[in-house]
Amino acid sequence: MIPSEQVDGSRPTTLSDVAQTAGVSVATASKALNGRPDVSAATRRRVLDVAELLSFAPNEIARNLASGRTGTVGLLTSDLDGRFVLPVLMGAEDALGAGQVSVLLCDARGDAIREQHHLRALLSRRVDGIIVVGASTNARVSLGQNLPVPVVYVYAPSSSDADLSLTPDNVGGGRLAVEHLVTIGRRRIAHISGDSSYQAARDRSTGALAALADAGLELVGDPLFSTWSEHWGRDAAGLLLSAHPDVDAIVCGSDQIARGVIDTLRDLGRTVPDDIAVVGFDNWEVLATNSRPELTSIDPNLQALGRAGARAIFESIDLGSVSPGLRKMPPRLVIRGSSVSRR
Amino acid sequence: MIPSEQVDGSRPTTLSDVAQTAGVSVATASKALNGRPDVSAATRRRVLDVAELLSFAPNEIARNLASGRTGTVGLLTSDLDGRFVLPVLMGAEDALGAGQVSVLLCDARGDAIREQHHLRALLSRRVDGIIVVGASTNARVSLGQNLPVPVVYVYAPSSSDADLSLTPDNVGGGRLAVEHLVTIGRRRIAHISGDSSYQAARDRSTGALAALADAGLELVGDPLFSTWSEHWGRDAAGLLLSAHPDVDAIVCGSDQIARGVIDTLRDLGRTVPDDIAVVGFDNWEVLATNSRPELTSIDPNLQALGRAGARAIFESIDLGSVSPGLRKMPPRLVIRGSSVSRR
DNA sequence: CTGTTAGCGCATTCAC
DNA sequence: GTGAATGCGCTAACAG
């Protein structure tokens, strides 16, 4: 329900309104409402009742001015339309919103100038902390170590290891994919990925190769790198199959690529997963669950990443600081029909 | 660059710091910095220089307390993961962020309790306005008309016409799709859409039928409604083609459905667009540009919707109020290879 | 336990 | 032109 104070269009009830009609001082009213111990049960009850009656809502602005903390954190993202920042953002909003803190959202649109602008705005608003969410897992420049509030970098790590960064473990993800395929008996495994200028592409590839080596296997052909698109997946699968018709599994650098790959495999009359198993990356639900068959994929756990980021901010506020460094968060394997046949 | 005040870890410079080192009173400093007329050019220069030197950043919190306006608007969304709210949100953030106002983001996760919680928080933070962004174009319950700040509903309209709502014109979108197909010479047009419990599905269908009637045509078969998925698109296309093998165009209720449809058409050996033209809805880039052929689609212009919403808030603040009602924003047609063959 | 006294940082009267 | 005084709504010492 909407507080009735607003119904009559008059100015919002203030603490002193409450105090006055409860017959106490503002100080006492404040203590009562904030659950401070040094108030008699009777007066507390009375103040609470009056506050309820007047549907008093404390002015956070004033409260902040007095207390020094604003109960807001800035969320500085560089690419709001990215499908990756979103889950992160949700996780953060989740962990923060559960408490009393609100989120100030800023989208720099990948523009450094705009980012500085937003940074200043956040600082002026005296946020208690800042979460920087990048659009790719490539490292980004630091906001600097001398900010008056804690900063944590999520998804895209800071290029400075004096900062705290949380990013998905892409190497581990690559391993996971191959280990799964080896487990289900595949031995002739190929790799099709996206733009090799992305750290993510290189890391996933590194992980996959490492896992292959551990299993005493070698990659079938060279890894194929190009763009993060279905088109490339389709083309690459064609290239791969004509060069190495005997592959029995393909690790893809993204779900988009995987969908393209599956598309071509069907066109070529190869069945997935019986003939060739396919593993995607990102676990992007819309893509993964709508393909035929549905996509086994590596889920980078972005929401957990966001939550961890928010928690790191809290820690940093409480403890005064937090140990910096790059923390890689473990991904998880989501098995669907493209690697294990289902009936 | 980061203000140097923060570099030395001390407390942020305040207005009185500036005043003091400039040798004036805080009042004068305030006037000088805010461009008020009653300050001599000389002192203004001096104050500005000092402020620059000390990299003074006014404490917005304090400024707000004194001025009454906070320069923040609340963005209350019910489904952050929705691919629809996002562009809206970007548009809003765009229009707002360009000025001096910041965005407080709240995600209610579709939970009414949580929404009330967030609403209170926003009100406590004394936001200047609230933009409510729903996850579908179905109407949603109003927050009430007696809030102390202007509210505008974007994407999902309010069920109360005492509120201002901005939503895409789905009827017009449906018309647009059919008109395009008629223009390129199609006459046997069918319609496959999503969940008919969605207003969007019904509206798009209504628009399509109206445009057909205007062209003196009838729909081939009944509209097929089910889920908003590729799976359904595939199945529906199969059903449709076996019942009406002679269709020459299919209007789809979403891009996902369109992709499924195209998939099946290829399986059945029908070519798109020469044999059968396909139009999607939403213009969801990742889906539309990665299909074979790329999808012609109706773009609901969500970002423009978000911008309009933000502007409405401004108006409402400036003018004291704004005329309520449901405003439908025109979509636009994006032509790609699924309706017009390209070489 | 309660009320009085001070600010938080700034904008805004008013005198000077 | 400038500065001293006042208050925004609240919290945080203190003193009773």
Helix (H, G, I), strand (E, B) or coil at B131: strand
Side-by-side strand order, sheet with A249-252: A224-225, A189-193, A249-252, A277-281, A296-299, A332-334
pLDDT tens digits, A171-181: 999 999 999 99
Enter the DSSP assignment of A64. Answer: H
pLDDT tens digits, B266-319: 999 999 999 999 999 999 999 999 999 999 999 999 999 999 999 999 888 888
pLDDT tens digits, A114-135: 999 999 999 999 999 999 999 8
The candidate with the shortest Cα–Cα distance to B177, out of B287, B88, B300, is: B300
Q: Which amino acid is at A304?
A: A
Evaluate if residue A59 carries a pLDDT over 60: yes
What pLDDT, on a 0 to 100 scale, did the predictor assign at position A12? Answer: 82
* Confidence (pTM): 0.91
**Any B CB within 8 A of A98 CB:** no
Does B118 contact A97 at a Cβ distance shorter than 8 Å? yes
Evaluate if residue A1 carries a pLDDT over 60: no
In residues, how long is chain B?
A: 343
For A144, nearest residue in chain B (alpha carbons): B2
At A89, give phi and psi (nearest 5°): -60, -40
Average pLDDT, chain A: 92
What pLDDT, on a 0 to 100 scale, did the predictor assign at position A98? Answer: 77
**Any B CB within 8 A of A271 CB:** no
Q: How far is the CA of A35 from the C1' of D10 (A)?
A: 15
What pLDDT, on a 0 to 100 scale, did the predictor assign at position A5? Answer: 37
The answer to whether B137 and B168 have CB atoms below 8 angstroms apart is: yes
The answer to whether the beta carbon of residue A42 comes closer than 7 angstroms to any atom of strand C is yes
- CA B21 vs. chain centroid, Å, equals 47
User: Residue B129 forms beta bridges with which residues?
Assistant: B73
Name the pLDDT band for A26 (thresholds 50, 70, 90): very high
Q: How far is the CA of A208 from the C1' of D11 (A)?
A: 57
pLDDT tens digits, A189-218: 999 999 999 999 999 999 999 999 999 999
Q: And the tokens for B265?
A: 């058409």
What pLDDT, on a 0 to 100 scale, did the predictor assign at position B8? Answer: 41
**Any B CB within 8 A of A79 CB:** no
pLDDT tens digits, A213-239: 999 999 999 999 999 999 999 999 999
What pLDDT, on a 0 to 100 scale, did the predictor assign at position A252? Answer: 98
Stretches where chain B sits below pLDDT 70 are 1-10, 343
Residue of A106, A146, A149, A231 to mutate, testing the B interface (most B Cβ within 10 Å of its Cβ): A146
What pLDDT, on a 0 to 100 scale, did the predictor assign at position B343? Answer: 59
For A255, nearest residue in chain B (alpha carbons): B286
At A189, give phi and psi (nearest 5°): -105, 130
Q: CA A33 to CA A13: how far, in whole Å?
A: 14
Give me the sign of the Cα torsion angle B49, B51, B53, B57: negative
Q: CA B301 to CA A201: how far, in whole Å?
A: 33
What pLDDT, on a 0 to 100 scale, did the predictor assign at position B2? Answer: 34
More confident residue, B11 or A310: A310
End-to-end Cα spacing for chain B = 50
Selected residues 125-164 of chain A with any CB under 8 Å from a CB in chain B: 125-126, 143-144, 146-148
Q: And the tokens for A176?
A: 């996971």
Provide the Cα torsion A287, A288, A291, A297; round to 10°.
140
Q: CA B270 to CA B266: how far, in whole Å?
A: 5
Q: CA A172 to CA A281: how far, in whole Å?
A: 12
pLDDT tens digits, B186-216: 999 999 999 999 999 999 999 999 999 999 9
Name the pLDDT band for A11 (thresholds 50, 70, 90): confident
The answer to whether B167 and B157 have CB atoms below 8 angstroms apart is: yes
Half-sphere exposure of B219 (CA within 13 A, CB side): 21
Q: Where are the alpha helices (DSSP H) in chain B?
A: 4-7, 15-22, 26-33, 41-53, 60-67, 85-98, 112-124, 170-183, 199-214, 230-243, 255-267, 285-288, 302-319
